[in-house]
Structure 1
Amino acid sequence: MTIAIVGAGLGGLTLARMLHLNGIDAVVYEREPSRDARGQGGMLDIHSGQRALREAGLIDRFLAIARGEGQDMRLLRPDGTLLLQEDTPDDAPLERPEVDRADLRALLLDSLPEDAVRWGHAFTSAEDGRLHFADGRSAPYDLLVGADGANSRVRALLTDARPAHVGQNVVEVGIPDIDRTHPDLAAMVGRGNFWVLGDGTSLAAQRNGDGRVRIGVSFYNTGEDWFATSGIPFDDPAAARARLIELLPGWDPRITALIAACDDTVVPRAITTLPPGLTWPPTPGVTLVGDAAHLMPPVGEGANMALLDGAVLGLALAAHPDDFAAAVAEYEREMFERTGAAARMSADMQELLMSPDAANRLLAFFQPG
């Protein structure tokens, strides 16, 4: 029987790896033309997802590329007041190490047979046991797993739920090779995560494995049309940086200097989520993993849940290789409970970040009592 996985993200590739380990054939169909066709985003905080990598026989390779120093954190107010600084000892356990998403994806891809991923296959629909792609090609399937992310096309086969805007809009910028180009700013940011939380705004700076600092400037309690009315000229990077700084009045110049130092990559990103605890009735031959199933606020759970989805579904299929329906039912029961709890926790964290007293509330979260 044919297992088709749509999407070569973390969840889909983990599932493919688990099936490969258990001698079960599967094909991953990915719309991108090659594995290096586009950037893969920033760093990921991998904690619970380490269990999936252990099940997949990849934990040692993961630990070799993980950055323990990425667990460092600095929390500040916009006026520059340092509220919290946590520096990770060199011999600390890798409980929540950071890893470059591109490196983790490459690790998963390299663990699969060369022909496991079919690049350049943009899924459009599925009917009568066949997948259909944008270029007119088609392929058979007995089980279709949608691993196609936030804007999943496979999801429509199971539920009418669609991602909704959560009142957060982010402008992503970055400083390449910060240690060489801006050593003073590099020292301020530190080795891991640098958070500045204001009233309705925040700045999060994060070290990437390639020396780039990736920066997200968030504007909370803003609508879907905020980018159009913000006055940020995205087609003029220098003016966009200047406007971003204007939108942070009263912020310490040492912090806004991070924005002034950025290169010309300026990317708007509206934050959307699926309803926490989303479920769907059992549907023969189709299921979902990762953001396709449970898109959450970007507070550190999504990638971990995707890795676990792939591992749990892979184990269920290995236990029921001749009964896909039983395997999917077992997986969905576990996944709905696990990811529902993670989504509700993520929604609570999102509400905290959007609150007027976000800095003090986050400080209390990290230092209870």
Structure 2
Amino acid sequence: MRHRIAVVGTGPGGLSFARVLHRHDHPVTVFERDPSLDARPPGGTLDLHEGLGQLAMEKAGLLMEFLALSRPEGQAMRILDTDGTLLRDWRPRPDERANPEIDRKQLRDLLLGPLDVQWGRGVTQVTPGTGDGVLVHFADGRQETFDLVVGADGAWSRVRPAVSPETPHYTGVTAMETSLDDVDTRHPDLARMVGEGSMAVYGVNRNLVAQRNSGGHVKVYAQFRAPLDWHAHLDLSDAEAVRSSLLSLYEGWAPAVLELLRQGAVFAHRPLYVLPVSHTWPHVPGVTLLGDAAHLMPPLGAGANLAMLEGAELAEALAAGPADLDATVRAFEERMWARAEKWAKITTAGLERLVSPNPAAALAVFEEVQPS
């Protein structure tokens, strides 16, 4: 008899888990609180790493499709000084595919494929140890029982309380996100400044990052150290007021750089939260976590990659059956915790240096990961 398995969340980790199970002809139920596929924007671009996200795509049988859609040129990175001086301009080799970029929507659509997602099924609580399995409570009042529930539902996971009392804490760094459309036609000077991949400018306790997506779309992130309530006297729905506040915060930076903020029409508030670097939990039969639900860390390129590989590895282990379900999940958690702790330490240290009193520390991070 096959196990009754459910995954909560349709992010890259949850979909990787479900898609690999599907590839092995193992049924899986996918729950998502969003009412439909296009209920909210899917987010910006992701770089999938060799040995992490790309390995997950291979396990899902989707590596060639990913490579066809990905943008190797998106690995390019330009670093500017606050006065607009170009400090570094790194471009990948034509055959460089270590970390190619792909839009989240493209990745999501690839992973969704034939999966049957139950949209609008928000989970409110998960109760293990009911005798018949793990009881999942939904916002609409319904309940269902499973042998295994995998929480892949992000930073504010509704599954996490079933195994851990931890909640995310604020890092002291906030991001304001905006975007530009049709940048090559409407803003050719900004397009040239950003280049084919990403561009970053580092100042004292703040930075400004622009990242290309496909179709001439550019995401812009203003990151800075501030109290969590820094916006108490600011209406975040008032784009003009937010823009004025940000331009004041970045006063003295090159006009060409600040044009990225001046041209943004809508701003989204993204305070950065994390879980403890060494977050683990006593194993609870029938429930586990992956991705941000398990190890929320600074968004420096590791989170989605880890979530995807974790989802793919757990699915493969479960599909290999008929091994003991509980033992399989225990072994998965031990592997996940060790790998996640390593990356949490790296990304936590990275955030400290990328948004720091010493802009040179940020440039040093770039030097460590890119050739000269």
Pick the TM interval, shorter chain.
over 0.9
Counterpart contact for 1:3–1:27, Cα < 8 Å: yes
How many residue pairs get matched? 360
Say whether 1:49 aligns with 2:49.
no
Partner of 1:258: 260
What does residue 328 of structure 2 align with? 327
2:295 is aligned with 1:287:
no
TM-score w.r.t. the length of structure 1 is 0.94
Corresponding residue of 2:89: 85
Aligned counterpart, 1:339:
340
The counterpart of 1:142, out of the listed 137, 147, 154, is: 147
1:164 aligns with 2:166: no
1:210-359 equivalences in 2 (<5 Å): 210-220=215-225, 222-229=226-233, 231=234, 233-263=235-265, 265-358=266-359
Give the equivalent residue in structure 2 for 1:67. Answer: 71
Secondary structure, counterpart of 2:314 in structure 1: helix
Q: 2: distance between equivalents of 1:60 and 1:39?
A: 26
Whether the aligned pair in 2 keeps the contact of 1:167 and 1:224 (CA below 8 Å) is yes
SS, match of residue 232 in structure 2: helix
| AA at the equivalent of 2:165 | D
Distance in 2 (alpha carbons) for counterparts of 1:247 and 1:342 = 31
Name the aligned partner's letter for residue 101 of structure 2: E
1:95 aligns with 2:98: yes
- Aligned-pair RMSD on alpha carbons? 1.4
For 2:183 and 2:75, the matched residues in 1 are separated by 19
SS at match of 2:231: helix
Tell me the secondary structure at the aligned position of residue 165 of structure 1: strand
TM-score, L = length of structure 2: 0.94
CA distance in 1, matches of 2:196, 2:322: 45
Residues 29-51 of structure 1, C-alpha deviations (whole Å, 9 max, x = no match): 11011111111110111102111
Which sections of structure 1, spanning at least 5 residues, go unmatched?
A: none
Q: 1:361 — aligned with what?
A: 361
Q: Which runs of 5+ in 2 are unaligned?
A: none
Give 1:93 shift: 2.2
Q: Distance in 2 between matches of 1:172 and 1:188?
A: 18
Q: Deviation of residue 137 (structure 1)? A: 1.6
Deviation at 1:367, TM superposition (A): 2.8
Kept after mapping to 2: 8 A contact 1:83/1:363: no
Q: C-alpha displacement at 1:242, in angstroms?
A: 2.4
Q: CA deviation at 1:322?
A: 4.8
Structure-1 separation of matches of 2:262 and 2:366: 30
Instruction: Measure, in 1, the Cα distance between the counterparts of 2:207 and 2:61.
Output: 38
1:203 touches 1:215 (CA, 8 Å); kept in 2?
yes
- 1:300-323 CA-to-partner distances (Å, cap 9, x unmatched) read 100101101101111211233452
SS in 1 for 2:64: helix
Matched letter for residue 196 of structure 1:
V
Q: Which residue of 1 aligns with 2:135?
A: 130
Q: Is the 8 A contact 1:6 1:146 kept in 2?
A: yes
Q: For the Cα contact (< 8 Å) 1:74–1:195, is it kept in 2?
A: yes
| Deviation, structure 1 residue 207 | 0.7
* Residues 170, 217 of structure 1: 8 Å contact kept: yes
Instruction: Specify the code of the residue in structure 2 equivalent to 1:366.
Output: F
1:120 and 1:249 map into 2 onto residues whose CA distance is 44
Amino acid at match of 1:150: A
Name the SS for the 2:208 alignment partner: strand
Matched-pair contact (CA < 8 Å) for 2:350–2:365? no
The CA deviation string for residues 130-158 of structure 1, in whole angstroms up to 9 with x for no partner, is 21110112222110100110000100011
